[in-house]
Amino acid sequence: MPELPEVETTCRGIEPHIDKHRVTAVRVRQPKLRWQVPADLAELIVGREVCQVGRRGKYILIGFDNGELLIHLGMSGSLRVLPQETPPGKHDHVELIFDSGMMVRLTDPRRFGAVLWQPQGEVHTLLASLGPEPLTDAFNTDHLAKACKGRSQAIKLLIMNSHVVVGVGNIYANEALFRAGI
């Protein structure tokens, strides 16, 4: 499963290709991912310009003037920037076509990924309960002590809980605990 560093790398990889570019078309080949791709996705973003690319935890956020597209890569998903005429493969489910002639394609063999919409001024329920980012001041010893208080849970499960801290999956939990000698 892509963890926070991989999601950050994906954001940085797609940003120069889509930021300040206008969406000219949306192709949804498979609307049934982890959750249903919004049926009105094309109506929401075609003709609109990307104004920012970022992430919150493992969610990639593509911002428009009317809201944000939330993309989660699930267990096996990836985003690729390709020429818009690139033929689709079996596991290519959603494509955002841009005025540059390029597209961003979501490929997800296991279909555990998600493409969701968050209207301007709202916070999607999946983002509302997320814990702090691990490299921010909000994630500190006080926060971790409060999260641990009254729990009898394995520490690995605790640090993988996205309500405690976002973006930590199995690989990075193992590495962090090994480095800490736990």
Q: What is the mean pLDDT of residues 131-140?
A: 95
Q: Is 3 a catalytic residue?
A: yes
Are 107 and 77 in contact by the 8 Å Cβ rule? The answer is: yes
**pLDDT reported for residue 73:** 97
pLDDT tens-digit series, residues 78-124: 999 999 999 999 999 999 999 999 999 999 999 999 999 999 999 99
| From 3, 6, 15, 49, active-site residue | 3
Q: What are the domain boundaries of the chain? A: 4-123, 141-180
**pLDDT reported for residue 2:** 86
Distance between CA atoms of residues 107 and 109, nearest Å: 7
Distance between CA atoms of residues 168 and 165, nearest Å: 7
Q: What is the mean pLDDT of residues 57-70?
A: 98
**Which CATH code for domain 4-123?**
3.20.190.10
In the predicted structure, residue 22 carries a pLDDT above the cut 80: yes
Using only C-alpha atoms, the chain has a radius of gyration, in whole angstroms, of: 18
As a whole number of Å, the end-to-end CA separation of the chain is 23
SS3 (DSSP) at 87: coil
Residue 52 structure tokens: 């920012």
Tell me the pLDDT of the chain averaged across its residues.
97
Q: Which of 96, 61, 62, 60 is nearest to 77 (CA)?
A: 60
